[in-house]
Amino acid sequence: MLKRFAAPLRTLAVALWVALSVAGCASTSIQVAWYDTSYTGGPFRKIVVVGIHNNIANRRVFEDIFAQKLNAAGVQGVPGYLVLPNDANLDEPTASAAILKAGADGLLTVRLLSVDTKTRVSTTMMPAGGLYGPGMGWGGWWGPSMVAVPEVTQYDVANVETNLWNVNTKRVVWAATTDTFNPRSVATETPGFADLIIGQLRARGLVPAGR
């Protein structure tokens, strides 16, 4: 009777293993980062956050959440849509004037570079039979024989570029590219993304030390 459940149990075990593996990759990590070592201006006090995206709703959700995270970190964060008009043809002088008028000394621009679909082939060893038990015919003290079970999974990787600008000098003082595995939505991924970026900025003294 137990033998009847062997195949379903093997399938369930493999599915669970794959799910846990994929879930473990659902995070954002820094791939490359750069810092202007000549910058001596200390922590920024007011940063305008601009998400460069064609989807207005996604942009506003991102900017709101990131600005809130900055406020919690001791920096006045301002969503870009409150400062800059939603104009695809917005020129640099107009944008700079609007940011300066807002009293910001920093500008954080975040741009999605690409979303790539990757394929992963993995193998796990599973018992060839079902469950242990008397009369199962697995014979021998060495236990059950094992078979390799291949699994093919696909996942997305979002590559994002982040730049922190000194508004007064119009120079980048910190930049990084990040990868986010299996991004679900802007609202879901932004809090973790913001925590990672703010932590990096804090380590460089570009935002105040933790409260």
Question: Could you tell me the two tokens for 44?
Answer: 């920024």
Q: Where are the domains of the chain?
A: 29-119+152-203
5-12: Cβ within 8 A, 24+ apart? 5/130, 5/131, 6/129, 6/130, 6/131, 7/130, 9/130, 9/131, 10/126, 10/127, 10/130, 10/149
pLDDT tens digits along 90-119: 678 888 889 999 999 999 999 999 888 877
Q: Within the chain, which residues score under 50 in pLDDT?
A: 1-26, 130-132, 135-141
Query: Residue 77: its pLDDT value, please?
Result: 97
Question: Could you tell me the two tokens for 198?
Answer: 């703010």
Look at the alpha carbons of 171, 174, 175, 181 in this order and tell me if their dihedral is positive or negative. Answer: negative
Question: Could you tell me the two tokens for 114?
Answer: 């690409």
Could you tell me if 193 and 28 are in contact, meaning their C-beta atoms sit under 8 angstroms apart? Answer: yes
Q: Which CATH architecture has domain 29-119+152-203?
A: 3-Layer(aba) Sandwich (3.40)
Could you tell me if 77 and 71 are in contact, meaning their C-beta atoms sit under 8 angstroms apart? Answer: yes
Query: Residue 145: its pLDDT value, please?
Result: 67
How far apart (Å, rounded) are the C-alpha atoms in residues 194 and 45? 17
Task: Return the closest-CA partner of residue 106 out of 49, 56, 165.
Answer: 165
Query: Residue 144: its pLDDT value, please?
Result: 60
Query: Residue 88: its pLDDT value, please?
Result: 55
pLDDT tens digits along 185-196: 999 999 999 999
